[in-house]
Amino acid sequence: MSSFFVTLSGAAALASGAALWAVLADRFEDRLAGLAALTAGALPWLMVGMLSNWLPQVKSLEAAGLFGSGPLFLLAFFRYRFGPRDPRWQWAEGATVVGMLAALGFFMAWARAMSLGE
């Protein structure tokens, strides 16, 4: 198992954990933000699944796995940030920031591996 796969899996797990953290902190109040966060947490696993040959190689799924997670976390963040203020939503906002950073790390690990030819 290469370090590339381990790094991608770790970033995907961190994004998934952040998505669950956001939705649980929100207690399913804002459904759009929760759906965006959960989708953003699941998208990196599409890429991991295709790289490990669990899923067929499809370019549209590859693009969604690489580029879809960050914008969806950003959408969830803005929904939590500018929605009705509630103390527990600060935890949801923090979780979406962690998710955005995980999505950025996922993309950077993939880009580094592609530039090195792994």
Domain residue limits at 90:
3-116
Mean predicted confidence (pLDDT) in 23-37: 86
Per-residue confidence band for 118, with pLDDT thresholds at 50, 70 and 90:
low
Distance, C-alpha 88 to centroid of its chain: 21
Place of tokens 């770790």: 10
Angle in degrees, CA 61, 65, 71, rounded to 5: 120
Four-point Cα dihedral 18, 78, 92, 30, nearest 10: -110
Residue closest to 23 by CA, chosen among 72, 71, 67: 72
CB-CB contact of 13 with 105 (8 Å): no
CB-CB contact of 8 with 48 (8 Å): yes
The percentage of residues in the chain with a pLDDT greater than 70, rounded to a whole number, is: 98
Mean predicted confidence (pLDDT) in 20-25: 89
The number of domains in the chain is: 1
What's the CA gap between 11 and 5, in Å, rounded? 10
Q: What is the pTM of this model?
A: 0.83
Per-residue confidence band for 55, with pLDDT thresholds at 50, 70 and 90:
confident
Question: In whole angstroms, how far apart are CA 78 and each of 28, 41, 67?
Answer: 16, 16, 18
List, for residues 58-105, the tens digit of each pLDDT value.
888 888 888 888 899 999 988 888 877 777 778 888 899 999 999 998
Structure tokens at 106: 């996922």
- What pLDDT sits at residue 35? 92
What's the CA gap between 22 and 47, in Å, rounded? 22
